[in-house]
Amino acid sequence: MTSLSIMGVGKVGAEVAYLSTVTQIADTINIYDSVPSLLTAQKLDLLHTGIDINLNTDPEMLTESDIIVFSAGMPRTPDIKTRADLLESNLPVAREFCRMIKNYDGIVITITNPMDANNYFIQKESGIKREKCIGFGGQLDLARLKYFLSKRGYDTKGAWVMGEHGEHQVPVFSGMKEEVPENIRNEILLEMRGASMPVIKGKGGTVFGPAYNVFSLIKAIINDENKLLPCSCVLRGEYNTEGCSICVPVRVGRNGISEIIECHLDSWEEEKFSCAASHLKDLCRRV
Ligand SMILES: NC(=O)C1=CN([C@@H]2O[C@H](COP(=O)(O)OP(=O)(O)OC[C@H]3O[C@@H](n4cnc5c(N)ncnc54)[C@H](O)[C@@H]3O)[C@@H](O)[C@H]2O)C=CC1
Ligand SMILES: O=C([O-])CC(=O)C(=O)O
């Protein structure tokens, strides 16, 4: 029996709820949002699929879940330059979330930006084990990296991402068969940084990319897949890093993160990862 909760059913949260409903991935789905009219509308719309699901909207049920997706808070608009600029608006929401989930010891998937800092804060504030606090964003960055590589005719096998889900993301090329020269690496990095903005400008926010990949993460947990995924997690010395949550390769199964993999990086990647870590440590000191 699996119970899944989604806190914040705006664009991304609702799409995750929809995918979880149509695939019947969980036995119980619990959705919550601070806007009652939106919450009622999302509930009715899900029920109108005709799918026989156990759907609740009771915030008390959050702590009874196996997995909670935290997707509440403000998204970027075209004039909000970086995800880190959302910290002041969304930290109070993360704080309220932690109050609501007191004594919870299941898995939290953090989506709300700035995701790495929020994941770090939620882990620290809630006291939930770091293995159960999974920051989402790396899978989406990896999908985008693969898109930019294939557009240039590269075989994407072995491509990876690490670093911040933000300006300091780190595409990892050194595991690929073909060498990617530095000028192309820099070009792709710039494209990755700007990847979501045309979507935000054109339709108000990214939805399908994040929701599909969050759903794969939920599936990896529920089915105990022990799947290798790029996720943000609080480091305690791995990659010589502590004091922040940052995207690294991890294995994910029923109990959350079962292993943090320390992979080889070349000098270009190492330099970028170290910049990402110091940027995130600064951000995390503020939470
Ligand atoms: N990590 C990632 O890869 C991605 C992260 N995001 C982030 O996810 C967050 C949500 O994005 P969208 O769904 O597009 O935004 P949205 O505005 O469509 O939905 C956010 C929802 O949160 C609700 N909310 C706000 N404060 C709340 C509270 N205190 N309690 C309960 N609900 C509350 C709002 O009523 C709204 O329905 C944003 O911070 C966005 O930047 C979005 C896409 C990808
Ligand atoms: O760019 C944003 O603000 C939303 C997001 O995190 C993404 O789509 O990667």
CA distance 9 to 32: 7
Same domain, 8 and 53: yes
pLDDT in tens, 216-264: 999 999 999 999 999 999 999 999 999 999 999 999 999 999 999 999 9
* Cβ of 83 less than 6 Å from ligand 2: yes
192 pLDDT tier (thresholds 50, 70, 90): very high
Q: How much is the pLDDT for 218?
A: 98
How far is the centre of ligand 2, averaged over its atoms, from the C-alpha of 151 (Å)? 21
Q: How much is the pLDDT for 43?
A: 98
Take residue 239 and report the two structure tokens written for it: 């990659």
Q: How much is the pLDDT for 270?
A: 98
Q: How much is the pLDDT for 229?
A: 98
Q: How much is the pLDDT for 238?
A: 98
Q: In testing the pocket of ligand 2, which one of 200, 212, 213 has its CB within 8 Å of the most ligand atoms?
A: 200
Q: Is the ipTM of this complex over 0.90?
A: yes
258 φ/ψ angles, rounded to the nearest 5 degrees? -95, -20
Residue with CA nearest ligand 1 atom 24: 72
Same domain, 203 and 235: yes
Q: What does the chain come to in residues?
A: 287
How far is the centre of ligand 1, averaged over its atoms, from the C-alpha of 75 (Å)? 6
Closest CA to 175 of 275, 236, 261: 261
66 pLDDT tier (thresholds 50, 70, 90): very high
Same domain, 16 and 82: yes
Same domain, 264 and 248: yes
Domain count, the chain: 2
Same domain, 113 and 191: no
pLDDT in tens, 20-39: 999 999 999 999 999 999 99
Same domain, 49 and 145: no
Q: In testing the pocket of ligand 1, which one of 62, 111, 197, 199 has its CB within 8 Å of the most ligand atoms?
A: 111
Q: How much is the pLDDT for 145?
A: 98
Region 157-163: mean pLDDT is 98
Catalytic choice (165, 168, 264, 279)? 165
Same domain, 174 and 113: no
Q: Exposure of 86 by Cβ count < 10 A (0-12 exposed, 13-18 middle, 19+ buried)?
A: buried
Last residue of a domain, one of 135, 153, 175: 135
Same domain, 239 and 190: yes
- Residues annotated in the binding site for NAD(+), as ranges? 8-13, 33, 90, 111-113
How far is the centre of ligand 2, averaged over its atoms, from the C-alpha of 50 (Å)? 31
pLDDT in tens, 43-64: 999 999 999 999 999 999 999 9
Last residue of a domain, one of 135, 159, 176: 135
Beta strand 107-110 with 67-70 is parallel
Region 118-144: mean pLDDT is 98
Q: How much is the pLDDT for 203?
A: 98
Last residue of a domain, one of 135, 161, 176: 135
Q: How much is the pLDDT for 158?
A: 98
Task: Give the CATH number, domain containing residue 157.
Answer: 3.90.110.10
Q: How much is the pLDDT for 93?
A: 98
- Residues annotated in the binding site for substrate, as ranges? 76, 83, 113, 144
* Cβ of 95 less than 6 Å from ligand 1: no
Same domain, 226 and 101: no
Q: How much is the pLDDT for 194?
A: 98
For residue 82, give the ligand nearest its CA: 2
CA distance 27 to 52: 10
Same domain, 43 and 155: no
Task: For residue 48, indicate whether it is catalytic.
Answer: no
Same domain, 62 and 167: no
How far is the centre of ligand 2, averaged over its atoms, from the C-alpha of 286 (Å)? 21
**Where does 119-159 show beta strands of DSSP type E?**
133-135
Same domain, 207 and 239: yes
- Structural domain that includes position 68: 3-135
Q: Which atom of ligand 1 is nearest to the CA of 93?
A: 29
Q: What is the mean pLDDT of the chain?
A: 98
For the entire predicted model, the pTM comes to 0.98
Let me know: does 37 contact 44? Beta carbons within 8 Å: no
pLDDT in tens, 272-285: 999 999 999 999 99
Angle at 10 between CA 8 and CA 33, to 5 degrees: 35
